[in-house]
Structure 1
Amino acid sequence: MADAPQAIVVPADHRQMDFPTFLKLHRGQLVNSGVPEIYWPSVQKKIRDEVYDAGRYFGMMQVESDEEEEEGGGDRNNPTPGEHSWCVVVTSEDGVDTSDASSIFLVDHAWTFQYGYARLQLQKVLGLLDRMAALMDITEEMSEEEKTERVLDEMWRFTWHYKLDFQGATADDRIAFWYVNDEFGSRIQHSDEPTCRMVPFYYVPTKTSYTLMWLLQDLDSGDELTKDFADGLSDETERKCRLLAWIPEDFTHITPNEGISIDDAFFAARLKGSRETLPIPEATRNPLTNREAPYKVYTDIQVIRDNLTDSRFQLVEEESQADIIWMKDHIRDFKTFSVERPEVYLNQFPFEGILTGKDCLAYIGQATVTNQEPGALENGPKWLPTTFNLSWALPKFVSSFQQREERGLDNHWILKPWNLARGLDTQVTNKLHHIIRLSETSPKVACKYLEDPVLYYREDVGQVKMDIRYIVMLQSVKPLKLFTYKVFWLRFANKPFSLDHLDEYEKHFTVMNYTEGGTKLHQVHYDDFIPIFEKQYPDFPWKDVESSIFGAFRELFESAVSREPPCGIGHYPMSRSIYAIDLMLKWKRGEQGERTMQPVLLEVNFCPDCDRACKYHPNFFNDIFSTLFLDDFKDRPVAVIS
């Protein structure tokens, strides 16, 4: 039996920490970042003693570029933007020797931020805006607001990132931190054949981040210090994509939608490592039947325990006693479950992740369009935004972006991580270099941002964005049996909508119930909303809008069950589930040029937060369970979709 891990004792004064303790705290970082072991003692010593000695060996030089080079779109080996060009060279007469154990250098971070706070920091931190403008060579006269916008735009060419990953880290903890190196570090230019490497390093005792820089070869006096801005990438096309933030490249020869639809290779790679198994359907022996005894329900979700009061269901404390297991976490081994508990119902379906993963959702939607033109700049059905998986189709996305730009089409996009909810690490931008940099931090999709959404008038604010959440109930895959709860929930932005200040959360996002600082949550009940909506839009009866919404739900699930796992949701007679579908309405032109409302599905969530549903509708889970397990949905706010 292995010994229990020992706690690492760190002295109150980190300067008293010995080297073995330093390694216990930081070995993983050093190894994963590829820092040569010869330099490890110097890393500790220089941090401990605050030794920033790069200036003894290197110097910054301003370089004048000739006009032909500027007109050509940038120098591949000197791409950092700004009015001036810079380089860093060896100034030590003896050069720098990589075999010297002290030849690793600390680079300070001039600015560290998480994206949602960048504007606020530039406005509030004394001197930060002017320092960043100078570092980015923004020298012309302009107002504070104009300077802030310029820095927020240019910073993506100067920023790098790291994440904190530790035992017990939440999704919020893993959001990327962006940083700008100091003037010295920011002047080091790109080269495909770099002479140094630079990596972020987080010093645990003081919770401080640095950049470590070391040479890849011996350098003589006058040699230039360069790094690879696409470090670790070898594929030529992928490198050109990643370097677009600094070096222009034309991708318009690539057809945006060729090969964008579902293929088995995508799912094989996407789901590799999920270890999800399929159930054995013939193992089940308790089909849904009416019976006098109540169904025994085991759940680890408190809101169900508090609100499932229908006498036909009985809550139990032990999972082994249950006829129905309703859990907040996914199970992966359906095969074993179906053999060991063949008589037990479960609140999830095999491979339902093809709906709840944002990248897979896009592929499922795109599979409904069979005559997509390869050169089209849109993809997928009308009820799903044009979406690109940036891990698989970055060149296609770049081609689409550049072609849209050439044609003068709107180019606002929203970047979303595959598997995070609540708007975490989600950003809106119309800048290609911004999108390229964001795609580095985690697997993301780029979805066309709705530039013309249907807005809701708030008397206290004005015209704001809104989104709508429906709960859908999947009772069966073969045949498809799908219901939706007719009570829906609304979320509103807190500031008037406009296509500016794209980093302003309360203007462009509607999820306010998870934000810090007491952000106001504007609530309107669905049956109050409908007459208000019809008053604001008298030509659009809600029953017609809702009918088009339900039609989108039907098409989505018909596509999701049309293929066998892992490319579709798996059939299992003992599965039942609910999903939250978030959507918005947008304006579009009909065949006769008339203005129409089009529902656009945003995401699908497994095991959604239903506290708000139960607060205003105490019978919510009674309705859900009665529909899914007893086929009892008459006289309930439930609509049959399929």
Structure 2
Amino acid sequence: MAENGDQFSFEEFVAIHESQLVASGVPQHFWNHLYSKLMNEVFDAGDSMMMVVDSETCNWSVFATKDILFNDSNNIFLIDHAWTFRPNNARRALQEVPGLKERLIEAFNIKGALDELVSCSEYVGSESGDTKIEGSSKSNDADDSSASDDEESFKSDKIIEAILDKIWNYAQTYTVKIRKATVDDNDLPVWYIPDEFGLRIGHSKDPNFKVVPFFYVFQNIAYSLLFPLRNVADEEEVTRNYVDTKILLEHPEWYDILMIPWEPIDLSGNDVLHKPKSNSYYLGGREPDELPDEPQNAALIGSKPKNSVHKVYVTNRQLVDNLRQIKVELVDDPYEADIIWMNEHFHNFK
């Protein structure tokens, strides 16, 4: 396989990404042009579509600027990701990453609402009611500076709260599966916000386009792919289904519930039915331990003299390197060991 930044063939691209493309439902006739656009970082959606804002509502939409044919293999487009994050560190990123708050305020179209949120009338500083008098002491100037800093911090917190409240209307996820014995953070869903173009594609229950996340292995970067589901006419609005997910496929009756972030509904009158899970549900993801039977247990019970050498099998030498009063002999075969000390879990105790 070609190293990152090197040239690689279409066949190599397919060999690595085919399962991902098939699982995402990307028609095969788009693959060659997708390969070319990824190789050359071509973002050409603007050649076929444009963003339009409603002057009265300030809501954005995307419209085709020419006929976009499903059978035209060039009609697959890359959408960049403006921000990739984990929910548990989203607030800190908004506090620390320069320009991120400002970009999301514009992208989420919440600038007008923020004027009311961060109005000075809501802020009450430690010196509220005091009036600065010309010629006052330096200590008063310092107090004013401190109050100003507090007010800016208050406004920043309000802005971050507004963004986090709105973020779930736009955030989407993908998961990068890495084959290994243990689960770590890489197996958890990665949340991302598409760029401004991706954010402004409208929703439809009968969409004419599909958007899917795509992890480009050769650059270790994620994009979203936009491609038509049918022929789209010039000046037709470009739409996608916001809840076109595995959950909807498994539970189509949940459509209205999944759409709540965009189309709120009152579910207070609905009965909440608790369906207990079977034991197999909770044990399904576990590997059962194989415990020794009574005769095996009886044969193992015993002890060695204090000064005898204990055979130890370890996967981390930290234990044996710090032993002072026990004599040990390291062995390579756990079946020869008196003591087994492993970092990872094991299940066969027989």
* TM-score > 0.5 by shorter chain: yes
Structure 2 residue aligned with 1:245: 261
For 1:289 and 1:50, how far apart are their aligned partners in 2? 66
Structure 2 residue aligned with 1:331: 346
Contact 2:5 2:219 survives alignment (8 Å): no
Structure 1 residue aligned with 2:198: 185
The structure that has the greater radius of gyration is 2
Q: How does 1:322-361 map to 2 (within 5 A)?
A: 322-332=337-347, 334=348, 338=350
Which amino acid is the alignment partner of residue 192 of structure 1? K
**TM-aligned CA distance change 1:292 to 1:201, over 3 Å:** closer
Q: Which residue, out of 204, 207, 219, partners 2:220?
A: 207
> Does 1:60 find its partner at 2:76?
no
Q: Which residue, out of 233, 240, 243, partners 1:220?
A: 233
For 2:304 and 2:223, how far apart are their aligned partners in 1? 67
Contact 2:51 2:63 survives alignment (8 Å): yes
Which amino acid is the alignment partner of residue 85 of structure 1? N
For 2:107 and 2:232, how far apart are their aligned partners in 1? 26
> Does 1:271 find its partner at 2:283?
yes
Contact 1:60 1:89 survives alignment (8 Å): yes
Which amino acid is the alignment partner of residue 221 of structure 2? T
> Does 1:319 find its partner at 2:304?
no
Deviation at 1:116, TM superposition (A): 4.5
Q: Secondary structure at the match of 1:245?
A: coil
Structure 2 residue aligned with 1:258: 274
**TM-aligned CA distance change 1:320 to 1:277, over 3 Å:** closer
**TM-aligned CA distance change 1:292 to 1:117, over 3 Å:** closer
Structure 2 residue aligned with 1:159: 171
**TM-aligned CA distance change 1:302 to 1:245, over 3 Å:** farther
Contact 2:2 2:8 survives alignment (8 Å): no
After superposition, the C-alpha distances for 1:453-493 in whole angstroms (9 at most, x for unaligned) are xxxxxxxxxxxxxxxxxxxxxxxxxxxxxxxxxxxxxxxxx
Which amino acid is the alignment partner of residue 259 of structure 2? L
Structure 1 residue aligned with 2:208: 195
Q: Secondary structure at the match of 2:158?
A: helix
Which amino acid is the alignment partner of residue 100 of structure 2? L
Structure 2 residue aligned with 1:26: 17
Q: Which residue, out of 139, 144, 148, partners 2:111?
A: 139
Contact 1:299 1:305 survives alignment (8 Å): no
Contact 2:211 2:226 survives alignment (8 Å): yes
Output the TM-score relative to the length of structure 2.
Answer: 0.72
After TM superposition, what 4+ stretches of structure 1 lie above 6 angstroms from structure 2?
none
For 1:195 and 1:288, how far apart are their aligned partners in 2? 68
For 1:247 and 1:297, how far apart are their aligned partners in 2? 66
Which amino acid is the alignment partner of residue 168 of structure 2? W
Which amino acid is the alignment partner of residue 192 of structure 2? Y
> Does 1:130 find its partner at 2:102?
yes
After superposition, the C-alpha distances for 1:340-359 in whole angstroms (9 at most, x for unaligned) are xxxxxxxxxxxxxxxxxxxx
Which amino acid is the alignment partner of residue 2 of structure 2? V
For 2:102 and 2:168, how far apart are their aligned partners in 1? 17
Q: Secondary structure at the match of 1:173?
A: helix
* Count of residue correspondences: 302
Which amino acid is the alignment partner of residue 250 of structure 1? D
Deviation at 1:292, TM superposition (A): 5.3
Contact 2:213 2:223 survives alignment (8 Å): yes
After superposition, the C-alpha distances for 1:528-586 in whole angstroms (9 at most, x for unaligned) are xxxxxxxxxxxxxxxxxxxxxxxxxxxxxxxxxxxxxxxxxxxxxxxxxxxxxxxxxxx
The two structures, once aligned, show a CA RMSD in angstroms of 3.3
Deviation at 1:112, TM superposition (A): 2.5
Q: How does 1:480-629 map to 2 (within 5 A)?
A: none
For 2:344 and 2:91, how far apart are their aligned partners in 1? 37
Which amino acid is the alignment partner of residue 268 of structure 2? T
For 1:224 and 1:54, how far apart are their aligned partners in 2? 14
**TM-aligned CA distance change 1:322 to 1:188, over 3 Å:** same
- Say which structure, 1 or 2, has more relative contact order (CA 8 Å, 6+ apart): 2
Which amino acid is the alignment partner of residue 96 of structure 1? I
For 1:167 and 1:285, how far apart are their aligned partners in 2? 36
Deviation at 1:286, TM superposition (A): 1.9
Which amino acid is the alignment partner of residue 63 of structure 2? V
Which amino acid is the alignment partner of residue 18 of structure 1? S
Contact 1:29 1:201 survives alignment (8 Å): yes
Structure 1 residue aligned with 2:134: none
Contact 2:313 2:337 survives alignment (8 Å): no
Q: How does 1:18-97 map to 2 (within 5 A)?
A: 18-63=9-54, 84-92=58-66, 95-97=67-69
**TM-aligned CA distance change 1:276 to 1:126, over 3 Å:** closer
Output the TM-score relative to the length of structure 1.
Answer: 0.42
Contact 2:170 2:199 survives alignment (8 Å): yes
After superposition, the C-alpha distances for 1:338-397 in whole angstroms (9 at most, x for unaligned) are 3xxxxxxxxxxxxxxxxxxxxxxxxxxxxxxxxxxxxxxxxxxxxxxxxxxxxxxxxxxx
Contact 1:297 1:326 survives alignment (8 Å): no
Greater strand share, structure number: 1
Deviation at 1:42, TM superposition (A): 0.7
For 2:26 and 2:98, how far apart are their aligned partners in 1? 35
For 1:299 and 1:242, how far apart are their aligned partners in 2? 52
**TM-aligned CA distance change 1:112 to 1:278, over 3 Å:** closer
**TM-aligned CA distance change 1:241 to 1:278, over 3 Å:** farther
> Does 1:171 find its partner at 2:184?
yes
Structure 2 residue aligned with 1:298: 312
After superposition, the C-alpha distances for 1:58-105 in whole angstroms (9 at most, x for unaligned) are 23333589xxxxxxxxxxxxxxxxx6433323231xx21101101111
- List gaps (5 residues or longer) in structure 1: 1-7, 66-82, 339-642
Q: Secondary structure at the match of 2:238?
A: strand
